[in-house]
Amino acid sequence: MTAAFRSEDEAQRITLVFSGRLDTAAAMNLQDAVLARIHAVAPGQILRFDLGAVEFVASSFLRLCIQATRALGNERFELARPTPLVREVFTMAGLDQHLRIVDPGA
């Protein structure tokens, strides 16, 4: 499945809804567009990466998450709905202790 994302913009939150396999090649292809969205988040808005439809992540995508949390701070960046296989990668990298992971459907 080809990796992609779409942006859902609300007054208080921008959500990037990712889908597919975010391996290195895919993450590199999406990198510039994702970074542009990170830097477009307005003061007072938060940024959410919705990972509910993501099948796979590699470290190149983890790096994008770190860039987002560095740009916005931990209070204004969150990851939502990672599948168990995807969450396991964040855990192995030790990032589940540093990034805010939420389950808005719970």
Partner 1 sequence: MTDVAPGHWQVTADNSGLARLQQQAAAWLDGAGVAARCAQHVLLALDELAANVVQHGVGASWISLRLALDADAIELELHDDGVAFDPTGHAVSAAAAPTLGGYGLKLVRQLACAFEYARAADNCVRLRLACERD
Which residues within the stretch 55-84 sit at the binding site for partner 1 (CB under 8 A)? 56, 58-60, 62-63, 66-67, 69-70
Task: Tell me how far apart the alpha carbons of residues 17 and 14 are, in angstroms, rounded to a whole number.
Answer: 10
Q: Binding partner 1 by CB under 8 A: which of 25, 33, 40, 102? A: 25
Q: Binding partner 1 by CB under 8 A: which of 8, 24, 33, 102? A: 24
How many Cα atoms within 13 Å fall on the side-chain side of residue 85?
Answer: 9
DSSP string, 54-106: EEEE-HHHHHHHHHHHHHH-GGGEEEE---HHHHHHHHHTTGGGTS-EE-TT-
Contact region with partner 1 (CB under 8 A), list: 12-20, 21-29, 31-39, 42-50: 21-29
Residue numbers at the binding site for partner 1 (CB under 8 A): 21, 23-26, 28-29, 56, 58-60, 62-63, 66-67, 69-70, 85, 89, 92-95, 98-99
